[in-house]
Amino acid sequence: MIALVEDAGFIYGSYALTFGAVGWMVWRAVSSGRRLGKQIPDDEKYWT
């Protein structure tokens, strides 16, 4: 029983860590994109 509980901690912890890291990467992408996007005129952006 105790082993199962420890296992669960590792498993949920890993999922939390992974998705936390993913969420952080996503947040960083969006926020830096917005921040820098304000400082550069649109015609200089190759994707617009």
Partner 1 sequence: MTTLDPTTTADTEVSPSRSTGTNATRVIGIATVGAMAWLLLFALVLSPADVNQGESVRLMYLHLPTIWVAYLSFIVTAVASAFYLFTKNHSLGWDRLAGASAELGVAFVGLTLVVGALWGRLTWGVFWQWDPRLTTTALLFVTYIGYLAVRRLGGSHQQRAKRSAVIGLLAVLLIPLVHWSVVIWRSLHQEATILDVDGDPDIDGTMLTTVFIGMIAFTLLYVWLVMHRTRTMAMEDLLEDRGLDIALAERRAEGGAR
Q: Which residues bind partner 1 (CB under 8 A)?
A: 4, 7-8, 10-11, 13-15, 17-19, 21-22, 25-26, 29-30, 32-34, 36-48
> What are the DSSP E strand ranges found in 1-48?
none
Report the nearest approach of partner 1 to the CB of residue 47 (Å): 5
3-state DSSP percent of the chain in helix, strand and coil, to 5: 85, 0, 15
Report which DSSP code applies to 48.
-
Report the nearest approach of partner 1 to the CB of residue 10 (Å): 5
Report the nearest approach of partner 1 to the CB of residue 9 (Å): 10
